[in-house]
Amino acid sequence: MLIGWTTTSTETEATTLARGLIDRKLAACVQIDGPMTSIYRWGGTTETSTEYRLTIKFLVNRHLEVETYVHNHHPYDTPQWIVVRAEHVAEKYLSWAQANSSSLPL
């Protein structure tokens, strides 16, 4: 299982992105945190923004589809997209994730 993170500037944008991933069975679960404060450099200046973080849990075999979806539907020109591999996933949770984020029969 992989975990990806991205951020949006509004809760509505975050919810729209999350629902799209879930409705297409690209992700098993998307959690939305926020609001939070992000401080970063953009265009040569230091920016401070309020953002909402999406934590996206998905299967390894859906990685390219999830990344493509995020980049094609994200409101930012350069969205944060960071992915890590889960070191351990409980078997019951993994089974649930497979059943709920795969269009392929198990």
Question: Which strands, in side-by-side order, build the sheet including 45-58?
Answer: 29-42, 45-58, 2-8, 82-85
pLDDT < 70 stretches in the chain: 103-106
Q: Write down the pLDDT at residue 105.
A: 43
| pLDDT, position 38 | 96
Q: In this structure, what CATH number is given to the domain that contains residue 75?
A: 3.30.70.120
Identify the pLDDT of residue 52. 98
* pTM greater than 0.75 (yes/no): yes
Question: Is 86 inside any structural domain?
Answer: yes
pLDDT the model gives residue 103 = 63
Domain assignment of residue 68, given as a range? 2-100
Q: Does residue 62 belong to any structural domain of this protein?
A: yes
Looking at the structure of the chain, the number of domains it has is 1
In a domain? residue 71? yes
Asked, for residue 33, whether it belongs to a domain, the answer is: yes
Q: Is residue 106 part of a domain?
A: no
What pLDDT is recorded for position 70? 98
Q: Does residue 75 form part of some domain?
A: yes
Looking at residue 102, what is its pLDDT? 75
Q: Is 64 inside any structural domain?
A: yes
